[in-house]
């Protein structure tokens, strides 16, 4: 069985609202990106959900999961890939200080220019 790595930063993180349906019972490995993104909060329910743009100066905190092709396809559908979010391969650093290549979902720049920034790069961190 072929597997791939996926970096998640929002509702797919361990114990967040979409984790149970798509990734449980697996728990992700904490990981961080390079500081090259912009994270924004959109939506009015609970904490809303984060969007990530490919340009910026923020390191993103999330988790890396190993998934099979069926799970990746299901997550593609959740994320609306390729018409809503676009899935791209990036380098991320798990907390063991290695570097791995993983898929990430990015929003095209300019879709939500006035949405509040998440300057910490961590959607699950308390708002300042």
Query: What is the reported pLDDT for 47?
Result: 76
Query: What is the reported pLDDT for 55?
Result: 92
Q: What digits encode the pLDDT tens for the residues 87-98?
A: 999 999 998 889
Residue numbers annotated as active site: 79
Query: What is the reported pLDDT for 8?
Result: 98
Query: What is the reported pLDDT for 1?
Result: 73
Query: What is the reported pLDDT for 128?
Result: 58
> Cβ neighbours of residue 59 under 8 Å, at least 6 residues apart?
32, 33, 34, 35, 37, 121
Flag whether the pTM goes above 0.85: yes
d(CA 4, CA 71): 10
- Domains of the chain, start order: 3-106 (3.10.490.10)
Query: What is the reported pLDDT for 72?
Result: 97
Residue 48 pLDDT grade (very low, low, confident, very high; cuts 50, 70, 90): confident
């Amino acid at each position: 069985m072929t597997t791939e790595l996926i970096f998640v930063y929002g509702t797919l993180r361990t114990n967040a609202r979409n984790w149970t349906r798509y990734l449980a019972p697996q728990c992700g490995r904490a990981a961080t990106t390079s500081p090259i993104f912009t994270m924004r909060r959109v939506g009015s329910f609970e904490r809303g959900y984060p969007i990530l743009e490919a340009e910026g100066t923020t390191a993103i905190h999330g988790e890396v999961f190993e998934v099979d092709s069926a799970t990746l396809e299901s997550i593609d559908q959740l994320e609306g890939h390729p018409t809503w979010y676009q899935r791209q391969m990036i380098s991320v650093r798990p907390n063991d200080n290695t570097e791995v290549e993983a898929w990430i979902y990015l929003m095209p720049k300019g879709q939500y220019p006035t949405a509040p920034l998440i300057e910490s790069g961590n959607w699950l961190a308390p708002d300042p």
